[in-house]
Structure 1
Amino acid sequence: MSGERPVGFALVRGLAGQTRVLNSFFVVRGARRTGIGLSAVQEVVAKYPGPWEVAFQDDNAAAVRFWRCLATEIAGEAWTEERRPVPGRPSLPPDVWTSFHVHVAARRPGG
């Protein structure tokens, strides 16, 4: 949200599983490059500490920059990337899967 207006969404799968997957993530064009996307993902993953994965395509330069920046912001240098075939779509280039771990945030005194 930006004020009272929705500016994007995040869909997560695997909350009850061993690894959470940020399955879909979108920010409207007018709100991009403002930091709202980074803040939104940080808020989502902080609610569910543990291992996370997100997939994107190599040919989407903005996504490559965003997800690598996000992984570094959250996990420092402790994140990985691997290419995996798209299930049932052998003609497509593989997806890039970024994996990182979200640690339990320390509670602030009085917070």
Structure 2
Amino acid sequence: MKNMYCEHLGISEDVYNYGQNVIKELKERFDRIDEIAEYNQLKVLSAMQKNKVAEMHLYGTSGYGYNDEGRDTLERIYADIFKTEDALVRPQIICGTHALNVAISSNLRPGDELLSP
């Protein structure tokens, strides 16, 4: 492998060796990241199995959200992954500010005031 980098790609041996040392120093970090990624992937797969995700859940919809089994299943999957009672997963919510507005607006009635400490 070293030959390929040094001879064929023209990378100096010093640069190659430096890169290899950096990779060795970061190995533990990369291994930890891989462990976390694998754990999270297993959580997602488990939630998908629990909610019996099937091909029918991947079909398109009318856009109105009526009887949208795919969306409902996706929300149950998110709730299972994040260990919450329920989840609201919508591509129409485009940013954090929009999400806060939706949450506050759904809890305040006309004329209500939001007090902040």
TM-score using structure 1 length: 0.23
Name the structure where strand makes up a greater proportion of residues: 1
Instruction: For CA contacts below 8 A with separation 6 or more, give which structure has more relative contact order.
Output: 1
Rg: which structure is higher?
A: 2
